[in-house]
Amino acid sequence: MSLIPLGIWAASGAGVLPLTVEYLVVAGGGGGGGEYGGGGGAGGYRSSVSGEDSGGGNSAETILELVLATNYSVEVGAGGAGGNKTATSGVDSIFSTITSTGGGSGGHYATGGDNSASSVGGSGGGGGLGLTGSLGTTNQGLAGTGGGAGYPYYGGSGGGAGQAGQSSPGGNVAGEGGDGVESSITGTATYRAGGGAGISWYGEASSNGGLGGGGNGGINPTVGEINEGGGGGGALDNTDGAAGGSGTVILKYPDRYTITIGAGLTGTTPPAAGGFKVTTITAGTGNVSWAA
């Protein structure tokens, strides 16, 4: 049986050539809580990159086999809002059948009892003073820690994709946010999906967010990094926690294929290297497709 050249097959409309796509899908990070608040959890982290980890301490997922001239949905999740009372969770990111869950929001504590709980997410949010942290989602991220109940006082820290929120090092100081996971899918080793840190009592110290864009907790909390899915930092009394960072969708595929990034999406594809192209989508909702 003779082989049909690739270009003739594609042009003949004989259908659809299979192509394999490695993906990294990171959701938006959760917002940090205010009023003695916990840090936001990192956005869910799902990866099929060969030889690398996915979120929650799991190995890489199965590489997708897709077909040409077919639309595949993409959505890049926004980060959750920080809040004085109630922060919000991050927004899910989606590629085809893969959904990464938005990071959980940090909780807050109020002396009047008007408290809000942290929320479950891709990684869990940290609890306010005396309140528990929340769980992450299996295969995506890890749990946030609880805040100190009674002396010492501190807010809990958000979980990261590769490490749970960290415990207090002692005194009235919040632990650091959990670290994310490192990937070299773009050719540069980069951490993504780090958890936000909680607030230290009276702002005695600023605690660092986790590697991968987690925001710092403190009197002036910092936001989670854009396109890294980091959780926002927790804040002191009468101050809003910081917002979580938006997520990203990164796709790696053989360089004989050409991707079309549809309307509504923002993305780039640098020149091919090592036989592959890598497309990074940083915002929006829409479709992508491939041609030979």
Over the stretch 13-71, which tens digit does the pLDDT of each residue have? Answer: 444 457 999 999 999 999 999 888 999 999 999 999 999 999 999 999 999 999 999 99
Predicted confidence band of residue 204 (pLDDT cuts 50, 70, 90): low
When pLDDT is cut at 50, 70 and 90, the band that residue 83 belongs to is confident
Does 202 or 128 have the greater pLDDT score? 128
Question: Residue 184: pLDDT above 90?
Answer: yes
**pLDDT interval class at 157 (50, 70, 90):** very high
| 215-253 tens-digit pLDDT | 999 989 999 999 999 999 999 877 899 999 999 999 999
pLDDT of residue 195: 98
Q: 100-129, pLDDT tens digit by residue?
A: 999 999 999 876 667 888 999 999 999 998
Q: Once rounded to an integer, what is the mean pLDDT over residues 68-91?
A: 95
> Could you give the C-alpha distances from 279 to 21, 27, 62, 189, 206, in angstroms and in order?
11, 17, 19, 16, 36
pLDDT number for residue 32: 96
Percent of residues, the chain, with pLDDT higher than 70: 92
**Residue 4 pLDDT > 60:** no
> The pTM is what?
0.92
Query: Taking 80 as the threshold, does the pLDDT of residue 144 lie above it?
Result: yes
Q: Tell me how many degrees the CA angle 281-285-287 measures, rounded to the nearest 5.
A: 80
Break the chain into its structural domains and give their ranges: 20-246
pLDDT-based confidence at residue 200 (cuts at 50, 70, 90):
confident
Residue 2: predicted pLDDT: 33
Average of per-residue pLDDT across 204-211: 88
Query: CA-CA-CA-CA torsion for 132, 133, 134, 140, nearest 10 degrees?
Result: -160
| pLDDT at 8 (0 to 100) | 35
Residue 145's Cα: distance from chain center in Å?
Answer: 18
CA atoms within 13 A on the CB side of 194: 28
User: What's the Cα-to-Cα distance from 264 to each of 75, 82, 112, rounded to whole Å?
Assistant: 9, 26, 45
Give the pLDDT band (50/70/90) at residue 188: very high
Question: pLDDT digits over 265-290, tens only?
Answer: 999 999 999 999 999 999 999 999 99
Instruction: Write the single-letter amino acid at 224.
Output: G
